[in-house]
Amino acid sequence: MANVNIKINGQDLCVDEGLTVLQAAQQAGIGIPTLCYHADLALDGVCRVCSVEVKGQRALCASCVYPVSEGMEVLTHSPKVRNARKVIVELMLANHPQDCLICARNQNCELQAMARELGVQDVRFTGDRKDIPTDSSSTSVVRDPDKCILCGRCVRTCQDIQSVGALHFSGRGWDTEIVAGLGGDLADAVCVSCGQCINRCPTGALKGNDPSAKIWDAIYDPAKHVIVQTAPAVRASIGEEFGMEPGSRVTRKMVTALRMLGFDKVFDTDFTADLTIMEEGSELIQRVTKGGVLPQITSCSPGWINFIEYYYPELLPHLSSCKSPQQMFGTLTKTYYAEKMGIDPKDIVSVSIMPCVAKKFECDRPEMYSSGYKDVDYVLTTREAAAMMKEAGIDLPSLEDGEYDAPFGITTGAGAIFGNTGGVMEAALRTAYELITGEALDDVNITAVRGTDGIREATIQVGALPVKAAVAHGLATAREVLEGIKSGRYKDYAFIEIMCCPGGCIGGGGQPQPTNEEIRKKRIEGIYAEDGAMELRKSHENPAIKAIYEEFLGEPLSHKSHDLLHTTYTPRSQRTVKSEKPTKVQID
Amino acid sequence: MAFYRAHILVDSGTAAVLKGANAVRNTLIEEIKSRGLDKEIKVVETGALGLAGAVPAIVVYPEGVTYANVTVEDVPEIVEEHLLKGRRVQRLVYKDDTPAVVKAAGSARSAEMRVVLKNIGVIDPTSIDEYIAMSGYEALAKALTAMTPEDVIAEMKASGLNGRGGAGFPTGLKWEFTAKADGDIKYIVCNADEGEPGNFKDRLIMEGDPHQIIEGMVIAAYATGAQKGFIYIRGEYQQSVANTERAIDVAREMGLLGCDIMGSGLNFDIEVFKGAGAYICGEETALLASIEGFRGESRVKPPYPPTHGLFGKPTVINNVETLANVPHIIVNGAQWYSEIGTARSKGTKIFSPCGDVQYPGVYEVPFGSTLREVIFGMAGGIKSGKKFKAVLMGGPSGVLVGEDALDRRLCSEDLNPGAGALIVLDETKCVVDLIRNCAQFFLHESCGQCTPCREGTKRMVELFDWWAAGSGSEQDLMLADQLATTMALTSRCGLGQFAGVAFKSSISLFEDEYLAHLADKSCPAGVCDMDKVEEEVRA
Amino acid sequence: MESCNSNCCVQCDAEVVAIVDKCGRTECNLIPILHQLQRSMGYVSNEAMEKVAAELGISVAQVHGTATFYSLIYTKPHGKNVIRLCDSPPCHLQGSGAIRDAITKAIGIEPGETTSDGNFTFETVSCMGLCGVAPAIMINDDVYGNLTVDAIPSILEKYFACCCKEGC
């Protein structure tokens, strides 16, 4: 690409001609404040705080969308620019609750940070402020439109990254609102509960539906036996909430912290990830050998399940019938574990810590009562778990290591890599290869399915059998894959892994904010490091898995497995209007 | 074609129809028939004659006598006296001391120069024959047979025609960008979303002479290589939609649209797109979003529409008046055109004075005419014997000027005319009240995408509401000024960028009036209701 | 709220399909489709929006977002007669405020409201290009200009609900 010569704040620069002024300034180490801009998203240029002075232009230009050109002269912090930015932020604050002290995003809010950075010390505009009720109808996502600055990041996330379009702009001008579906409750909209909107919201307008008050109650209720499971992705990200670098592995510190919080037992979801591999792998072998529907698609990502139920119900037979590791875990705690420990399952409160808000929806599904009780009672996101730790005065980074409790404490690297895109596929291949060929893998690192490209396709030689597999993450790419299945493009594929969120669970909607490609890559590195450090790296070699089959389940796909570890899916309609009778009104 | 000894044109513009023009026309037809004159005299409906203050109006040809304020009761007398006996009904004749608007009616003042409006009130807008009889489609024939597309663009550039929608970008240059842009398909879009308050000139052209626009668009298509055209007409302009759609159908039937136009091999067709009520769609990128089925939200520029327009394809977007100028330039030549007007503003401009003038209406004058000529010479000056106070140039997004501007020339070198609206205030009007009303307009019409415009228009209205209720303070003026500056500098599109311009221009001109409202809590014009309780107003 | 009468859903769906077929089954016909729906059904219901989205293969978000953006598209039922009063500067200067008060006096509602009998919806709108005959109103498709306060009752008279069988 050709270069152009530009001048920013008097400094001569030679930059790629395709850059925006913002990018060129960033390269030169000049910071320009942004709000609607997000590295993951298409450019929009609506908040206008990144405005800069470009010589020859009557008005200021939004640097996030303005391309550089030869000879351009830019001032990023002239008095004109600084004054205008301050007024813009003042305007935002004038229409904002300004209840920072009691906001979920206090000290982690981009608007708050910007007001401080720009030195806004007064809000001179006093007048109407929007007053729209908070929408807590969804078990996953809570929307407080009063805190919304209409930057549109959530809309672009929902439409472009996830191709869902549950959120959009409605109305016009001062009355513009971001609404769900037809303007009603989020729970009534075609929302897949992924929470990607939360991750990219600069303010407290979007957050998870936080059950921590009920969990505190359970912990301090002597009649309750409160157990917690921790998802694979949480260990490589929860440290961020305590100021640690993304990807920092804090698995055992987290165990200590949870024990300090008062959980009776601390278990690892990696265990049921291993179990998923046994069940899902066996299901795949059965489909291949007995002529089932192929390609088989993974089913551990609940946002993804919601998506296919809404948009491609005709493809549901492709889904593995396996429950997600969270739900397998929930069922086992209230059956196998309860039995083994002699605890009445009604006294068990099963909590999970997930990188995900769709898990909150999943645990509420009517299909998820196979133990006879609600299999998982509460789901805490990574963020909410960290908040509980802080409330309990726990400083995670300074803790000693702890160990997970038996019987669900022994896990493998295969379970750990469920936390990132490609991980389920790699874990499945490690086991399938050895079970089918009876030979040991030379190298357990199956790098062909790793990486962060939207869709990755690979053919893996399993003995004499070439197995074609594909991996996709993010629902817009999932949609491409599903269209490919419909058009026959994947007809000779055996197995496809689909994760709802970009990067897989490490980029989930319950993860620490902010998020971007770089952060997600660091978390993935953390997960693979965890895998590499494990003694056991293949699910079928997990002795606890062997034990549970011997003691309780019998064998993979046994009757008991089917009853407890597998599920069914529900086609959903995109038509949500239930109670409207059109009134005929004729003008003319 | 039948020959008639006389034609009677009946003004059937919106203003006339609502004052009973249809009844007048029907009575006229009956009366003529009952006297057995229907083989000799033809009654023709025309678009608005521009006599908004004196309708219903009719013009009798060949004499070119205009009768104004005609009622159903007057019709028998006109038929009896004028058509049978050849004597004018003097009490109804449009007087010479009233403004001269219709050149064809024989009473035009020398200052008005009708180029684009030359057929208005002269021809039946539903008749393509009459348009053709007035040299219509001659320009298209000339372009297609005697000129290359490059010649057309060169001619347009040489003419100096600038866009008439307000921004004034050179039309030839715009066409050239699109002609040179890569694209398997290109579009010509006519911006007929005339929404700036005070403007109603495009409505007159569409209602009175729609073929001119079609001809201009086909020539643009030939010059740029476009295949498809849209005329985006605001949803409120039902008559314009009807007349334009009918004209398109007739033109298509005659082979002037569609495949192989005039045997030249040019394929081009036009569709009318009816807007749905949003001023912002007058902004060109918002207009494109609207045609594509989206919210009328402006898009990031660059890239600009000539290379990345409708559906991402190269697109020429021109205002109605701009396109209506095109046939005249092609027929008469760039040389002729560039001699009209001033050094930087070529040709004529249509103005629509309204507000406190005696004869609100639509007048076409060469660029460089003075504000006084239009307001006093044509619109008859201030009505009811009051004094002139100010004029809002181009509408709410324009500047407010006072008496000292009356002798300034209307052209880009001097007083920028904007889209042509002249909202005139007499001495009894309050400037604070006017600007408050402008602010309300922008609040209602902001698309809501960008922060400064969405939030700023709201705060501006609130400040003005307080001032007009006697709850202002002098510091407010500084705050409002800063707000207007920020909106002008940082808004995403023209709407927000120009929303505070009228306010800013009014402060220096009418500082006393602002101070009276803010410091003395009084409205000198007695328009604002200043005695509300402060606490209630400014909670 | 009344539960959905499945029969009316079917009718609404059929109407949407007919209109979509007529206007053309592409996204860029969304606004013409909304215009037509409004003409035939009075307003664009939530149900109709979902059906339009399904027919055009676009998201409900786009249909709802677009429909709620434009002031001539109604997504809620409105009165049988819609009175639009221009309150932009040319009409404002010529006394649209007094006309507003006169209309309010005549029909008993403020701008933004609908009469309890559903006969009138009253709204103030931006410029309708009737500045030459300011102050002006539109009632449905009829235009009235050069208004005076005294003229309002007689203009509104013919829009009051009539009691004859045919309606008028």
Query: Rounded CA gap, B311 and B90, in Å?
Result: 58
Q: Measured between alpha carbons, how far is A161 from B272 in angstroms, rounded to an integer?
A: 35
Report the CATH number of the B128-337 domain: 3.40.50.11540
**Cβ of residue B231 closer than 8 Å to a chain C Cβ:** no
CATH 3.10.20.600 positions along chain B are: 348-426
Question: Of C69, C96, C111, which one is at a domain's C-terminal end?
Answer: C69
How far is residue A132's CA from residue A193's CA, in Å, rounded to a whole number? 21
Question: Can you read off the two tokens belonging to residue A25?
Answer: 């300034």
Residue with tokens 């539109």: C138
pLDDT in tens, C137-155: 999 988 898 899 999 999 9
State which of C35, C69, C103 marks the end of a domain.
C69
| C-beta atoms of B396 and C88 within 8 A | yes
Query: Rounded to whole angstroms, how far apart are CA atoms C152 and A340?
Result: 85
Q: Which residues contact B95 (CB under 8 A, 6 or more apart)?
A: none
- Domains of chain A with CATH codes: 3-92 (3.10.20.740), 130-208 (3.30.70.20), 212-565 (3.40.50.1780)
Whether residue C1 is contained in a domain is answered as no
CB contact under 8 A, A172 and C68: yes
What pLDDT is recorded for position A252?
97
Out of B236, B295, B429, whose CB is closest to C129? B236
Locate CATH 3.40.50.11540 in chain B: 128-337
* pLDDT higher than 50, residue B1: no
Q: If you count residue pairs, one on B and one on C, with CB atoms under 8 Å apart, how many are there?
A: 151
Write out the residue range of the structural domain in which residue C10 sits.
6-69
CB contacts, 8 Å: B362 with chain C: 132
Residue B425 contacts C where some CB pair is shorter than 8 Å: yes
| Nearest partner of A571 among A308, A366, A320, judged by Cα | A308
- Average pLDDT taken over every residue of chain B: 91
* DSSP SS3 for A297: strand
Concatenating the DSSP letter of every residue in B253-297 gives: HTTSSEEEETTTTEEEEEEEEE--S-GGGGSHHHHHHHHTTS---
Active site residue A283: yes
Q: What is the dihedral of CA C24, C30, C34, C36, to 10 degrees?
A: -20
State whether ipTM is beyond 0.90: yes
Domain with CATH 1.20.1440.230 in chain B: 431-537
Taking the CA of residue B414 and the nearest CA in chain C, the distance in Å comes to 24
Residue B308: closest CA among B336, B279, B277, B285: B285
Residue in C69, C78, C91, C155 to test binding to B, most B beta-carbons within 10 Å: C69
B contact residues 104-163, partner C, Cβ 8 Å cutoff: none
Q: What percent of chain B has pLDDT over 70?
A: 94
Number of CB atoms found within 10 A of residue B198's CB: 34
Domain B6-105, second-level architecture: 3-Layer(aba) Sandwich (3.40)
Closest residue to C80, CB basis, from A169, A190, A585: A585
- What gap in Å lies between CA A198 and CA B9, rounded to an integer? 66
pLDDT at residue B87 tops 90: no
For tokens 């549901």, what's the residue?
A316
Nearest to B392 among C72, C89, C143 (CB): C89
8 A C-beta contact, residue A565 and residue A328? yes
How far is A572 from chain C, CA to nearest CA, in Å? 14
* C93 near B CB under 8 A: yes
Interface probe for A, chosen from C16, C40, C68 (most Cβ of A below 10 Å), is C68
Quick check: B448 and A80 CB within 8 A? no
- The residue from C49, C69, C89 where one domain ends is C69
The catalytic residue among A110, A240, A279, A283 is A283
Q: What is the pLDDT of residue A118?
A: 97
Q: Is the pLDDT of residue B102 over 80?
A: no
Closest to A362 (Cα-Cα) out of A163, A569, A576: A569
Question: By the 8 A CB rule, do B339 and B228 touch?
Answer: no
pLDDT at res. B68:
85
**Residue B320: count of CB within 10 angstroms of its CB:** 31
Condensed to tens digits (0 to 9), the pLDDT of residues A346-374 reads 999 999 999 999 999 999 999 999 999 99
Residues C39, C90 share a domain: no
Those chains having 3 or more beta-carbon pairs within 8 angstroms of chain B are A, C
Minimum Cα–Cα distance from A43: chain B residue: B300
* CA–CA gap between residue A370 and residue A529 (Å, rounded): 35
What are the E-state strand segments in B90-201? 187-192
Residue A221 scores a pLDDT above 50? yes
**If you search the block for the tokens 């030869």, which residue do you land on?**
A70
Q: Minimal Cα–Cα distance from A164 to chain C, Å? A: 8
> Does residue B17 sit at the C interface (CB-CB below 8 Å)?
yes
DSSP state of A142: E
Is pLDDT larger for residue B8 or for residue B5? B8
| Residue partners of C5: CB distance under 8 A and separation at least 6 | A581
Kindly state whether residue C22 falls inside one of the protein's structural domains: yes
| Percentage with pLDDT > 90 across chain B | 74
- Interface subset of B 499-538, CB within 8 angstroms of C: none
Q: Check whether A320 has a pLDDT greater than 80.
A: yes
C-alpha distance from residue A109 to each of A200, A201, A203, A513, C99 (Å): 11, 9, 5, 9, 49
Mean pLDDT of the region B272-290 = 97
Confidence (pLDDT) at A499 = 98
Q: Which CATH number among 1.10.40.50, 1.20.1440.230, 3.40.50.300, 3.30.70.270 corresponds to the domain B431-537?
A: 1.20.1440.230
Looking at the fold, whether C37 and C61 belong to one and the same domain comes out as yes
* Known active-site residue A300: yes
Confidence class for position A588, pLDDT limits 50, 70, 90: very low
Task: Say whether A301 is catalytic.
Answer: no
Residue C3, pLDDT above cutoff 50: no
A468 catalytic per annotation: no
Q: Do A174 and B457 touch (CB under 8 A)?
A: yes
Q: Please check whether residue B240 is in contact with residue B233, taking contact to mean a CB–CB distance below 8 angstroms.
A: yes
Paired strand residues for B319: B191
Inter-chain residue contact A182 with C60, CB threshold 8 Å: yes
The answer, yes or no, to whether the previous bond of A145 is cis (omega within 30 of 0) is no
Buried b (16+ CB within 10 A) or exposed e, B322-344: bbbbbbbbbbeebeebbebbbee
C141 and C89 in a common domain: yes
- Assess whether A558 carries a catalytic annotation: no
Tell me the two tokens of residue B215: 């001809």
Supply the pLDDT for residue B50.
Answer: 67
CA distance B195 to B279: 5
CA distance A545 to A520: 30
* Residue A290 vs residues A466, A470, A555: alpha-carbon distances, Å: 17, 21, 18
- Could you tell me if residue A319 is left (phi over 0), alpha (psi between -120 and 50 degrees) or otherwise beta? beta
For residue B419, which phi and psi values (nearest 5 degrees)?
A: -80, -10
Find chain A residues with C-beta within 8 A of C39's C-beta. 587-588
Query: Which is the catalytic residue, given A505, A521, A530, A538?
Result: A505
Q: Do A580 and C46 touch (CB under 8 A)?
A: yes
Are the Cβ atoms of C2 and A588 closer than 8 angstroms?
no
Is pLDDT above 70 for B101? no
Where are the strands (E) in C64-148, listed by range?
Answer: 81-86, 113-114, 120-125, 137-139, 142-144
Q: Do C59 and A172 touch (CB under 8 A)?
A: no
The CATH class, in words, for B348-426 is alpha beta
Tell me, yes or no, if A280 is annotated catalytic: yes
Nearest CA in chain C to A155: C61
Q: For A560-574, B99-113, B284-298, B484-498, which range has the lowest pLDDT when averaged over its residues? A: B99-113
Is residue B380 within 8 angstroms of chain C, CB to CB? no
Q: What average pLDDT does range A128-134 have in this prediction?
A: 96
Strands A141-143 and A206-208: antiparallel
Helix (H, G, I), strand (E, B) or coil at A353: strand
pLDDT greater than 70 at residue A138: yes
Name which of A574, A585, A587 is nearest C54 (Cβ-Cβ). Answer: A574
CA A516 – CA B43 distance, rounded (Å): 72
In a domain, residue C75? The reply is no
Average pLDDT for A164-182: 96
CATH number at residue C121: 3.40.30.10
Please confirm, yes or no, whether A367 is among the known catalytic residues: yes
Amino acid letter, A520: R
Interface of A with B (CB under 8 A): 43-49, 51, 58-60, 62, 65, 67, 80, 83-84, 87-88, 91-92, 94-95, 124-128, 149-150, 169, 171-176
Cβ contacts of C31 on chain B, cutoff 8 Å: 273-276, 290-291, 293
A309, A367, A434, A525: which one is catalytic? A367
Q: Is C77 on the interface with A (CB under 8 A)?
A: yes
Reported confidence tier of residue C167, pLDDT bands at 50, 70, 90: very low
In a domain, C54, yes or no: yes
Backbone angles phi, psi at C85, to 5 degrees: -105, 125
For the stretch B428-484, pLDDT in tens is 999 999 999 999 999 999 999 999 999 999 999 999 999 999 999 999 999 999 999
Give the dihedral sign, CA A404/A409/A415/A418. negative
Q: Do C28 and B276 touch (CB under 8 A)?
A: no
Residue A479 to chain C, least CA–CA distance (Å)? 14
Residue B450: which of A46, A58, A80 has the nearest Cβ? A46
Structural tokens at position A163: 């191709």
Q: Does residue C164 fall inside a structural domain?
A: no
pLDDT band at B95 (very low <50, low <70, confident <90, very high): low
φ and ψ of B337, to 5 deg: -65, -45
* A11 SS3 class: strand
Decide: residue A42, CB within 10 A, 0-12 exposed, 13-18 middle, 19+ buried: exposed
Asked, as a colleague might, if the bond just before A407 is cis with ω within 30 of 0, I would say yes
* C17 assigned to some structural domain: yes
Secondary element (H or E) of residue A349: strand A348-354
CB contact under 8 A, A174 and B448: yes
Average of per-residue pLDDT across A333-340: 96
- Give the pLDDT band of residue B5 (cuts 50, 70, 90): confident
- How confident is the model at residue A586, as a pLDDT? 44
Decide if A47 and B451 are in contact by the 8 Å CB cutoff: yes
Whether C32 is in a domain gets the answer yes
Quote the percentage of chain A above a pLDDT of 70: 98
| CA dist., res. A88 & res. A47, Å (int) | 8
B419 DSSP β-pair partners: none
pTM for this structure? 0.91
Active-site residue flag, A522:
no
pLDDT at A583 over 70: no
Distance CA A164, CA A307 (A): 8
3-class SS string, A206-237: EEECCCHHHHHHHHCCCCCEEEEEECHHHHHC
* Identified catalytic residue from A280, A384, A457, A497: A280
Whole-angstrom CA distances from B114 to B95, B118, B361 are 20, 5, 14
b/e map A519-540, b = 16+ CB within 10 Å: bbbbbbbbbbebbeebebbbbb
Q: Cβ contact (<8 Å) for C2 and A171?
A: no
> What mean pLDDT is predicted for residues A433-459?
93
List CB contacts (< 8 A) between A156 and chain C.
none
Q: Which residues contact A290 (CB under 8 A, 6 or more apart)?
A: none
Rounded to 10 deg, the angle between the B210-224 and B320-338 helix axes is: 70
Going from the C-alpha of B507 to that of each of A32, B431, B527, the distances in angstroms are 33, 9, 18
Number of domains present in the structure of chain C:
2
Nearest-CB residue to B293 (from C29, C90, C130): C29
Subunits with at least 3 CB pairs below 8 A relative to chain A?
A: B, C
Assess if residue C138 is contained within a domain.
Answer: yes
Q: Report the Cα B116 to chain-centroid distance in Å.
A: 11
Task: Find chain A residues with C-beta within 8 A of C42's C-beta.
Answer: 583-587
Across the interface, do A176 and B482 touch by the CB < 8 Å criterion?
A: no
Distance CA(B185)–CA(A71), nearest Å, equals: 33
Q: Across chain A, what does the average pLDDT equal?
A: 95
Q: How confident is the model at residue A130 (pLDDT cuts 50, 70, 90)?
A: very high
Find out whether C27 and B254 touch, Cβ atoms under 8 Å: no
Strand A51-54 relative to strand A141-143, pairing: unpaired
